[in-house]
Amino acid sequence: MGKYIKLVNDLNDKRGTIIILNDGKKDYLMIYTKAGYLRGGEIHEGYQQNVVLSGIVEWTTPDGTTTHSVSDVISTTKHIPHLMTSLTDSLIVEWREKPLENPVNYYEPYRSIIRKKMEESQ
C-alpha cells in the first residue's frame, strides 16, 4: 500500500493560514503570513527548520534579527526562542526534530509582541 500525506489541521486567522501535514513520521507546517504580521514566540525541545518559499521574513532570536527571502533555510537550535515577522506576504515550510508540542511552549516576551500587533490591527 502506498504512503499518504495526511492533513492534520488547517488554522486560519487574520495573519493568514497554517496547514499541518503529516507523512506518518513527521509534521510539516505550510505557513502563509500576510505582510506586517508575526508568528512564533515559541521554544521547542528539538531543532526547527524553515525554508522560505515566497516573500521576505525577519527571524528574531535572542542573538539578533536576520532577514531571509526565497530559498533561504532558517535553522533554529533547540531551546532557542524565535519570532518571525513577515515583511511581505510570505509562505514558509517548517519541520521540527520533535513532534509538535501540545500545549505549545510559548516564550512570553515574544508572544506579547505578537498579541500587541494583533490588537493594533483590529
Model pLDDT for residues 52-67, shown as the tens digit of each residue:
999 999 999 999 999 9
Question: Taking the CA atoms of the chain, what radius of gyration do you get in angstroms?
Answer: 14
What's the grid cell of residue 66? 536576520
Q: pLDDT (tens digit, 9 = 90+) per residue, 24-50?
A: 889 999 999 999 999 999 999 999 999
CA 26, distance to chain mean position in Å, is 15
3-state secondary structure of 91: strand
Q: Give me the domains of the chain, ranges plus CATH numbers.
A: 6-120 (2.60.120.10)
pLDDT of residue 3 exceeding 50, the answer is: yes
Q: Evaluate if pTM is beyond 0.85.
A: yes
Residue of 87, 100, 29 lying closest to 60 (CA atoms): 87
Query: What sign has the CA pseudo-torsion 26, 62, 42, 93?
Result: negative
